[in-house]
């Protein structure tokens, strides 16, 4: 008996122009376009194996080894149903000899290589990996943009993880959502020295989820209306140009302004939503001062911070500046041993936890206070990466019996 099974991995993406607000909550259609950088799957990824088998009783899903219920009419069920529909329409209806995989139940196992405790949203990479593995399983002759329309219905930001490099999610105008999809602005190879430093900020309070937070913003924030009508459209044009021109100064200015405005509309929500904390704000102060020094030297901005729906900072910079920025963060946020994995060998095997850190010449050290060990509990260094990958049999997450290994 033939085994119909496929494994794919998909990347995390971090937006520079933030998606915040839906005009259709069921189809997940946004109130504005957004744009992100895809991060390298060598460091952060979701891996998913899907198998279709007529002997399976019903569709089932395991996340990091634990079975998750696939709720009727829920986002997961919608994505699976949409993928089966594409299989039927694009393959089985056109080539009647192809096996009717769309009628078989599927078993799906997914694994994130980064801990949930890292505070990184896994829904984007997770739904992108799900859709990619099913597309491979079903041998779908469709583009990543078509797949992005389906991933979008799992989690809005997931649609941008269908491409590598620099990716726009065009909001679209059609009520059915068929033109609300991701497109690649530039591949990874266009600007490969864009690196990212994720500062994992310790957080014990349970925050407001993106899904419910953004809906409250849509219902109550007058500032959001200004943002979607008068700010984001021009920013999408400007940041795309900055990327195509490899103009880091402009890229950084727009990225930081958009992060600030996203947190401003969160604050403008009734009741207000706070995602950043004192540590997040201190990191902003450090990056602002670091940029002030480099602008004064005529070098333009060298770093851009951005924050999603939580306190973690993501700092974009060019490869040549990462070491300086790690030193800066370590100076104010002393690290525990092993909290920074030096995957690019910047420190030649030395543990930065042992370092005092340092600031660049001319830096005003009084812009922030020194925090206690653990305020920033880890640093993840990564860079712009490629889109979903098809993986071989060695990487499969399902055993011969069709259950998680």
Residue numbers of the site for ligand DP6 (CB under 6 A)? 15, 18-20, 28, 34, 121, 123, 155-157, 210-211, 308-309
- C-alpha to C-alpha distance for 32 and 29, rounded to whole angstroms: 9
- C-alpha to C-alpha distance for 328 and 321, rounded to whole angstroms: 11
To the nearest whole angstrom, how small is the minimum distance from the Cβ of residue 298 to ligand DP6? 33
User: What per-residue string of b and e applies to 345-362 under the rule 16 or more CB within 10 Å gives b?
Assistant: ebeeeeebeebebebbee
Residue 157 or 317: which CB sits closer to ligand DP6?
Answer: 157
To the nearest whole angstrom, how small is the minimum distance from the Cβ of residue 180 to ligand DP6? 11
- C-alpha to C-alpha distance for 26 and 206, rounded to whole angstroms: 25
To the nearest whole angstrom, how small is the minimum distance from the Cβ of residue 20 to ligand DP6? 6
- C-alpha to C-alpha distance for 167 and 45, rounded to whole angstroms: 17
Instruction: Tell me if residue 384 falls in helix, strand or coil.
Output: strand
- C-alpha to C-alpha distance for 106 and 109, rounded to whole angstroms: 10
Are the beta carbons of 108 and 4 closer than 8 angstroms? no
To the nearest whole angstrom, how small is the minimum distance from the Cβ of residue 399 to ligand DP6? 31
In Å, the largest CA–CA distance within the chain is: 72
198 DSSP assignment: E
Residue 263 or 381: which CB sits closer to ligand DP6?
Answer: 263
To the nearest whole angstrom, how small is the minimum distance from the Cβ of residue 340 to ligand DP6? 24
- C-alpha to C-alpha distance for 91 and 186, rounded to whole angstroms: 30
Residue 213 or 402: which CB sits closer to ligand DP6?
Answer: 213
Residue 21 or 404: which CB sits closer to ligand DP6?
Answer: 21
Q: Give Cβ neighbours of residue 313 (< 8 Å, ≥ 6 apart).
A: 198, 199, 201, 280, 283, 284, 305, 306, 307
Handedness of CA 171, 173, 175, 177 (dihedral sign): negative
Residue 210 or 294: which CB sits closer to ligand DP6?
Answer: 210
To the nearest whole angstrom, how small is the minimum distance from the Cβ of residue 307 to ligand DP6? 8
Residue 22 or 107: which CB sits closer to ligand DP6?
Answer: 22
Residue 269 or 294: which CB sits closer to ligand DP6?
Answer: 269
For residue 193, the tally of other CB atoms under 10 A from its CB is: 14
- C-alpha to C-alpha distance for 125 and 45, rounded to whole angstroms: 6
To the nearest whole angstrom, how small is the minimum distance from the Cβ of residue 276 to ligand DP6? 12
Residue 155 or 382: which CB sits closer to ligand DP6?
Answer: 155
To the nearest whole angstrom, how small is the minimum distance from the Cβ of residue 54 to ligand DP6? 32
DSSP 131-177: HHHHHHHTT----HHHHHHHHHTT-GGGGGGGSSSEEEEE----TT-
Are the beta carbons of 49 and 108 closer than 8 angstroms? yes
Structural tokens at position 187: 């591949």
Give strand pairing partners of 111: 47
- The residue number with the shortest CB distance to ligand DP6 is 156
Residue 18 or 302: which CB sits closer to ligand DP6?
Answer: 18
To the nearest whole angstrom, how small is the minimum distance from the Cβ of residue 96 to ligand DP6? 37
Residue 308 or 324: which CB sits closer to ligand DP6?
Answer: 308
To the nearest whole angstrom, how small is the minimum distance from the Cβ of residue 296 to ligand DP6? 32
């Amino acid at each position: 008996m033939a085994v119909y099974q496929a494994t794919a991995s998909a990347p995390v993406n971090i937006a520079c122009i933030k998606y915040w607000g839906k005009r259709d909550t069921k189809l997940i259609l946004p109130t504005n376009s957004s744009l992100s950088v895809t991060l390298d799957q060598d460091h952060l990824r979701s891996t998913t194996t899907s198998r279709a088998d007529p002997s399976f009783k019903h569709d089932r899903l395991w996340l990091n080894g634990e079975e998750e219920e696939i709720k009727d009419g829920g986002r997961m069920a919608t994505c699976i149903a949409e993928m089966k529909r594409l299989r039927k329409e694009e393959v089985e209806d056109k080539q009647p000899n192809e096996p009717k995989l769309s009628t078989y139940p599927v078993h799906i196992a997914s694994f994130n290589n980064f801990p949930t405790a890292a505070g990184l949203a896994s829904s984007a990479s997770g739904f992108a990996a799900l859709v990619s593995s099913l597309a491979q399983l079903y041998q779908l002759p469709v583009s990543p943009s078509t797949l992005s329309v389906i991933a979008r219905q799992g989690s809005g930001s997931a649609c941008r993880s269908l491409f590598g490099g620099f990716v726009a999610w065009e909001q679209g105008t059609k009520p059915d959502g068929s033109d609300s999809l991701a497109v690649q602005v530039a591949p990874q190879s266009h600007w490969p020295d864009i690196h990212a430093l994720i500062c994992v900020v310790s957080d014990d309070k349970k925050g407001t989820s993106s899904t419910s937070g953004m809906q409250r913003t849509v219902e109550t924030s007058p500032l959001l209306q200004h943002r979607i009508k008068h700010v984001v459209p021009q920013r999408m044009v400007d940041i795309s140009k900055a990327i195509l021109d490899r103009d880091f100064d402009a890229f950084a200015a727009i990225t930081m302004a958009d992060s600030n405005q996203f947190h401003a509309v969160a604050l403008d929500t009734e009741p207000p939503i706070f995602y950043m904390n004192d540590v997040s704000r201190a990191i902003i102060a450090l990056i602002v001062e670091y940029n002030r020094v480099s602008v004064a030297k005529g070098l333009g901005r060298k770093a851009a911070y951005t924050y999603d729906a939580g306190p973690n900072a993501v700092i974009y910079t060019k490869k040549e500046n990462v070491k300086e920025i790690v030193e800066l963060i370590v100076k104010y946020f002393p690290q525990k041993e092993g909290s920074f994995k030096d995957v690019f060998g910047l420190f030649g095997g030395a543990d930065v936890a042992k370092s005092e850190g340092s600031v660049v010449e001319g830096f005003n050290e009084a812009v922030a206070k020194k925090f206690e060990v653990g305020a920033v509990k880890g640093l993840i260094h990564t860079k712009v990466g490629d889109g979903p990958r098809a993986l071989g049999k060695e990487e499969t997450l399902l055993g011969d019996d069709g259950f998680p290994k």
